[in-house]
Amino acid sequence: MDTKNYSRHIELNNAVILDGFWSDVQKTVNSKVIPYQYEALNDRIENAEKSYCVENFKKASEIVRRLRNGEKPPVYPVDKWCYDENNSDENAFHGWVFQDSDAYKWLEAAAYSLQREFDSQLYDRCTELIDIICSAQMENGYLDTLYIINDRDMAFSNLRDFHELYCFGHLAEAGVAFYYATGNKRLIWAAVRFADLICEVFGENGKAGYGGHEIAELGMIKLYEATGKEEYLKAARLFVDRRGTRPFYFDIERGITTDGLGYKYNQAHLPVREQNEAVGHAVRGVYLYSAMADLSRLTNDDSMYEACMRIWENITQKKMYITGGIGATVDGEAFSFDYDLPNDLAYCETCASIGLIFFARRMLEIKANAQIADTVERALYNTVLSGMNIDGDRFFYVNPLEVLPKASREDSRKHHIKTTRQKWFGCACCPPNLARLIGSLGEYCYTENDDTVFVHQYIGSSVQTKFGRLDVKSHYTENGHIEITADCQRPFTLALRIPSWCDEYKISANAEIKDGYAYVGITEKCELLIDFELKPRLVKCSNLVRENTDKLALCYGPSVYCLEAVDNGDNLQLLKLDLSTDFECGYTWCTQSNMPIPTVVANGFREKPDERLYSDFASSKQIPCKLTFIPYRFWSNRGETEMSVYFRYTE
Amino acid sequence: MDTKNYSRHIELNNAVILDGFWSDVQKTVNSKVIPYQYEALNDRIENAEKSYCVENFKKASEIVRRLRNGEKPPVYPVDKWCYDENNSDENAFHGWVFQDSDAYKWLEAAAYSLQREFDSQLYDRCTELIDIICSAQMENGYLDTLYIINDRDMAFSNLRDFHELYCFGHLAEAGVAFYYATGNKRLIWAAVRFADLICEVFGENGKAGYGGHEIAELGMIKLYEATGKEEYLKAARLFVDRRGTRPFYFDIERGITTDGLGYKYNQAHLPVREQNEAVGHAVRGVYLYSAMADLSRLTNDDSMYEACMRIWENITQKKMYITGGIGATVDGEAFSFDYDLPNDLAYCETCASIGLIFFARRMLEIKANAQIADTVERALYNTVLSGMNIDGDRFFYVNPLEVLPKASREDSRKHHIKTTRQKWFGCACCPPNLARLIGSLGEYCYTENDDTVFVHQYIGSSVQTKFGRLDVKSHYTENGHIEITADCQRPFTLALRIPSWCDEYKISANAEIKDGYAYVGITEKCELLIDFELKPRLVKCSNLVRENTDKLALCYGPSVYCLEAVDNGDNLQLLKLDLSTDFECGYTWCTQSNMPIPTVVANGFREKPDERLYSDFASSKQIPCKLTFIPYRFWSNRGETEMSVYFRYTE
């Protein structure tokens, strides 16, 4: 068993991001994404798929009013995952069954924004939305608009498919965030009322259920940490411990007996401590694993931690793309089998990489390990940021590593691979999830315990630790130079992650290296200079991944790079990097967003297209050319174009 | 415009196969496949999907009897493509809507078998089945059990989806074949009666319809050639000429107006002369193109021939696998876009390659061109033969070029990729189609015109030409040696195809080379010796196919070879051929079928699996090893195992 060195993330009001790169992203989220998403929740974006989110809360509020008046509102079927004008009554619930959660995620993102910089207009919008939400809560605390609008009596009757426990989890997270950010208790109070009902229904002597889509576990844990009420921690543990035990609750709900393999999708096929492999819907998976890690930390549960480690290693050693994307298959938005990581069919949902970061932070809080923090970095700088365009008003749900626009149009197997970011999605989990992660980025950079502050991510920031203030100036992505000023109130150890991509680094102090961290003793106010040598690196993927043999990827610091046809011409498979090349780093101007995009230019060759479909082997003719790479996160900001992360090479 | 040199195939009773390799295959078809399929049509194969084929004819026969008695049989819905005990009344039609065609294809195959070698037991089975079929024909000549059983009044009301014109086409082909083989006119008479009804309904002054699944065109042409009745040729031309013209008949059937793009699936989106690309369902496509080629020949129609050539070139230069497989995508069992030829997702239906051979033979009859005959060879020796196991009792519908059994089990995108041949399919078009092609192989080897006999395929045989007998002894696949004895009754030219894979050959006579054929003047009885140098060849696929860059395939004569894990260990992607290797040809014993399977053994390397999923570029460790290749057609005869046609290489 590993030696643990528990630490806790630093609360958001103590970790303010002040970073050339990330402050811009946060500003985009504040100024563009949050207002834009508010319009989307209210169905005011032209030509975008409708959300119905706020509309549902208003309908539910009306139902609750009528119930209070002793009326009997009509009943509509709850029999689908998605409802619209064509398949349901106009007075019934509309949108996806988990639509409430978009409002909660938006409120959580807005809370982080308010915490960073109070904005009375945004605060008013939030409280107005919270009013609508609270008015939709039933007297017993129940709060899920699908069942409130369509069929009150059927609440909690199909936990496998319908997302009321999921919506509760997001309500709890939003409630806690909004309370911490503003002191306003209205939303957390709604969450507490709903949590109390859930504890009553699913407590130790209640139904042995758990949600088909995990996150109630994380919500309960956050409520426990905010309120101190043990009941909520217990509920989280019950949800996790019951999962996948026999008889399967999802069988009981249906009055059938199965072998449970169908519940792999929900990670409910085996008790969690017996799970060795990440399976099923990827977002659900990482939300469960995050809760398992939290429970392991909170209750010092070794067997739970071991399960977390096995799953963590399975994901990061066998099921994760170089971009930090997870969930290789569109079928069930799921993890595929080991080493099945097709580039052009990838799913890599933005939310799944966000969830992977949630899981990673919690694992780091149990034991600092640079491989885990590296994975946060990998997901953050690549798949997560790829989820949003530079302007902050278009989003990717799916983040492939190779795109041929023609294939996305003509090949039904690739219809999930969008070639340009979308305005909004009917199933819009990703954009608000992205907003809440970016908004709470401060929580992912540092953890601290009784003697150590861990720096996991080098993002410029000002941090209030137990030992005094840390001021971090970071040029991490530009040149690898970081300056940390430690205003030492009492001696402590500063543990600095050494990125796995860095072979050469300098730290202006004596350091002891352990588990990928440089441990530096700080006894007085001081300034540390850190230099990570940044250079383009050629990275290979294991030859157990069939797709990438005889190919390479280019990485530069934390960023994975890619080729786009807009820079390199069509048929990217004709390009070959010359291994003896030098690399030239520069910029190309993105006229669409009026911003420079970093480039790495290398020497290579472009094969001439072979004229005959089949011919006796002979090397194809090739001519020297330049290969221009851009960071993967910026792909598809300059129109629809072929893209590939992996490329061929020649000695 | 090409100069044409029309020729006609030699009729089956004049072209008897006597070939070490192919006679064995024909024997397997006669002794195993035909009896086995008869059992299948009668639902007597244990644990195989039910056919319902004969059962439907019996049900229809009973309906016809009741109609004759003035009764009103019940009506059942015709609203699906497949019916079984669970979704339809037990007295209604069962199976796929085109199930009748299986009986016809079986009868056609049986006819070829009887033509080769009369077998009274088989003949009795045939006439018994023909009796059942004929008793199901309605008084007006209509003969399709789906509508006869379920809803007489709705006949011909949905040509797009329901296959009565398709079933008619197969009935006509079977009727003609059975008549030629046995002189028995009962089945062709049924076909003629149905054809007359169709001509009445869809003639010049009738409905402007055509079948959603082409083959009525070919059936009409065969009936025309057998009976001399111009009406049938006209009907074929109407079906072809109307196709894809506006207003779209499939729109008219539904009372809607569309842009017709949805009818790409049926090749009915554009008039056929405006089609430049093979699109839609691959089998339907090649059946249509075959009829277009026939019509071009029969009516000397240049614009039709030009369309055929454009489509031919599109298929063979941009949409055909090295194995002669066509139809790259499971979605619609269809042609994909140019150069989209994924190995592991391939569809490559056995029937589609059979249809490609139909198309090719007809193109050769317009103009002899070795590239076309090469394609027949490519499809025949590879995808077509891969469709059946050595023992003749298991079949592939789908013929991929790369198989990972785990992926077929766990990845829904690959569920169509079976790893072992199946006993029978509910949708069992391929096994009887294969039987009828193998049975009529003689038709595909030779064509003749007024001065020339063309040898397109070197298959041992005894052929009665206009100019006297040809006796061909062939060791084509073993050592490339062929002996032709020409019993010259009058002078003629013998045109010998030079296979495209052959760089060195000897012909024991003066020859003029044109369009890939060696033209030899024959003035007296003589013996020609031909030697095509046979050696393993490394073949590359155009770099416009993204999947195969930096990979090669191994071919040996007409056969494409592949690697199987049973010989080479798992993880075939770790293997690399050493380009400096010698090749050693030999055999490996297949204990399952008690037969030797040819092998080619080469030197190469096996990479050690990379331990880390992502790492700085360095060549993987490798150890020398032998690579054992077997002919693609024999893959999966030795149990479930990983397979790949393409492999990596190293200088």
Alpha helices, DSSP H, located in B550-633:
565-568
pTM: 0.94
Contact B539 A616 (CB under 8 A): yes
Identify the residue whose tokens are 């509508």: B147
Residues of B in contact with A612 (CB under 8 A): 317, 542
Average pLDDT of the segment spanning B200-205: 95
Res A629: pLDDT: 98
Average pLDDT of the segment spanning A531-550: 97
pLDDT in tens, A317-347: 999 999 999 999 999 999 999 999 999 999 9
Average pLDDT of the segment spanning A407-436: 84
Res A426: pLDDT: 65
Residue B117, C-beta contacts closer than 8 angstroms, at least 6 positions apart: B30
Res A410: pLDDT: 87
Cα torsion angle, A245, A249, A250, A255, sign: positive
What is the C-alpha to C-alpha distance for residues A332 and A262, in angstroms, rounded to an integer?
A: 11
B270 touches chain A (CB under 8 A): no
- Residue A427: pLDDT above 80? no
The whole-angstrom distance between B2's CA and the closest CA on chain A is: 21
Residue % of chain B over a pLDDT of 90: 92
Contact A413 B413 (CB under 8 A): yes
Contact B573 A613 (CB under 8 A): no
Average pLDDT, chain B: 95
pLDDT in tens, A340-357: 999 999 999 999 999 999
Average pLDDT of the segment spanning A583-594: 94
Contact B540 A618 (CB under 8 A): yes
Q: Which of B243, B248, B252 is nearest to B260 (CA)?
A: B248
What is the C-alpha to C-alpha distance for residues A641 and A97, in angstroms, rounded to an integer?
A: 34
B502 touches chain A (CB under 8 A): no
pLDDT in tens, B123-143: 999 999 999 999 999 999 999
The helix or strand, by DSSP H or E, that contains position B563, with its residue range, turns out to be strand B559-564
Per the annotation, the verdict on B429 as an active-site residue is yes
**Structure tokens belonging to residue B550:** 């930096």
Answer yes or no: are the C-beta atoms of A145 and A64 closer than 8 Å. Answer: no
What is the C-alpha to C-alpha distance for residues B390 and B325, in angstroms, rounded to an integer?
A: 19
**Structure tokens belonging to residue A31:** 């100024």
pLDDT in tens, A386-418: 999 998 889 999 999 999 999 999 888 888 999
Res A430: pLDDT: 82
Query: Nearest CB to A613: which of B317, B329, B404?
Result: B317
Q: Which of A7, A4, A1, A3 is nearest to A449 (CA)?
A: A7
Give, in degrees to the nearest 5, the angle at Cα A552 between A546 and A558.
115
Q: Which residues pair with A500 in a beta bridge?
A: none
Whether residue A558 is preceded by a cis peptide bond, meaning omega within 30 degrees of 0, is no
Average pLDDT of the segment spanning A222-248: 98
Residue A346: closest C-alpha in chain B: B413
Specify the higher pLDDT residue, A1 or A110: A110
CB count in 10 Å sphere of residue A382: 29
What is the C-alpha to C-alpha distance for residues A168 and A268, in angstroms, rounded to an integer?
A: 19
Residue % of chain B over a pLDDT of 70: 99
Average pLDDT of the segment spanning B233-252: 98
Beta strand extents in A489-613 (DSSP E only): 492-497, 505-507, 512-514, 517-522, 526-532, 536-541, 551-556, 559-564, 575-578, 583-590, 595-607
pLDDT in tens, A276-316: 999 999 999 999 999 999 999 999 999 999 999 999 999 99
Contact B618 A404 (CB under 8 A): no
**Structure tokens belonging to residue A37:** 């998403």
Average pLDDT of the segment spanning A233-244: 98
Res B1: pLDDT: 46
Contact A550 B336 (CB under 8 A): no
- Residue A1: pLDDT above 50? no
B535 touches chain A (CB under 8 A): no
Contact A337 B609 (CB under 8 A): no
What is the C-alpha to C-alpha distance for residues A510 and A499, in angstroms, rounded to an integer?
A: 18
Residues of B in contact with A549 (CB under 8 A): 550, 573, 648
What is the C-alpha to C-alpha distance for residues A1 and A9, in angstroms, rounded to an integer?
A: 23
Per the annotation, the verdict on B53 as an active-site residue is no
Alpha helices, DSSP H, located in B395-482:
405-410, 430-439
Res A101: pLDDT: 96
Answer yes or no: are the C-beta atoms of B232 and B221 closer than 8 Å. Answer: yes
Buried b (16+ CB within 10 A) or exposed e, B348-361: bbbbbbbbbbbbbb
pLDDT in tens, B495-534: 999 999 999 999 999 999 999 999 999 999 999 999 999 9
Res A301: pLDDT: 95
Identify the residue whose tokens are 């062709």: B188
Residue B124, Cβ density class (10 Å: 0-12 exposed, 13-18 middle, ≥19 buried): exposed
Q: Which of B57, B54, B36, B49 is nearest to B84 (CA)?
A: B49
Q: Which of B468, B470, B647, B484 is nearest to B551 (CA)?
A: B647
- Residue A187: pLDDT above 70? yes
User: C-alpha distances in angstroms, B369 versus B6, B98, B302, B495?
Assistant: 11, 35, 17, 11
Res A432: pLDDT: 86
- Residue B326: pLDDT above 50? yes
Q: Which of A275, A208, A272 is nearest to A235 (CA)?
A: A208
CA B489 to chain centre: 35
Average pLDDT of the segment spanning B310-331: 97
Predicted confidence band of residue A425 (pLDDT cuts 50, 70, 90) = low
Can you tell me whether residue B590 is helix, strand or coil? Answer: strand
Res B85: pLDDT: 87
Phi, psi (5° rounding) for residue A228? Answer: 75, 5
CB count in 10 Å sphere of residue B142: 21
Identify the residue whose tokens are 């089956």: B12
Exactly one of B108, B173, B217, B333 is catalytic; name it. B333
Contact B544 A571 (CB under 8 A): yes
Average pLDDT, chain A: 95
Answer yes or no: are the C-beta atoms of A482 and A458 closer than 8 Å. Answer: yes
Chain A with chain B: Cβ pairs closer than 8 A? 130
Contact A539 B618 (CB under 8 A): no
Alpha helices, DSSP H, located in A367-467:
370-378, 385-386, 405-410, 430-439
What is the C-alpha to C-alpha distance for residues A234 and A299, in angstroms, rounded to an integer?
A: 11
B545 touches chain A (CB under 8 A): yes
Residue B486, C-beta contacts closer than 8 angstroms, at least 6 positions apart: B467, B468, B469, B470, B494, B522, B525, B526, B527, B528
Q: Which residues pair with B469 in a beta bridge?
A: B464, B487
- Residue B2: pLDDT above 60? no
Q: What is the ipTM of this complex?
A: 0.94
Q: Which residues pair with A555 in a beta bridge?
A: A537, A560
Phi, psi (5° rounding) for residue B467? Answer: -105, 5
Residues of B in contact with A617 (CB under 8 A): 537-540, 552
pLDDT in tens, A151-175: 999 999 999 999 999 999 999 999 9
A302 touches chain B (CB under 8 A): no
Write out residues 570-599 of B within 8 Å (CB-CB) of A: 571, 573-574
The helix or strand, by DSSP H or E, that contains position A192, with its residue range, turns out to be helix A186-202
Answer yes or no: are the C-beta atoms of A623 and A608 closer than 8 Å. Answer: yes
What is the C-alpha to C-alpha distance for residues B263 and B272, in angstroms, rounded to an integer?
A: 12
Residue B401, C-beta contacts closer than 8 angstroms, at least 6 positions apart: B321, B322, B323, B325, B343, B344, B346, B348, B562, B632, B644, B645, B646
Specify the higher pLDDT residue, A3 or B456: B456
Residue B611: closest C-alpha in chain A: A542
Q: Which residues pair with A204 in a beta bridge?
A: none
Strand order in the sheet with B468-475: B15-17, B461-465, B468-475, B481-488, B526-532, B505-507
Identify the residue whose tokens are 């020859």: B511
- Residue A486: pLDDT above 70? yes
Alpha helices, DSSP H, located in A243-349:
249-254, 282-299, 302-318
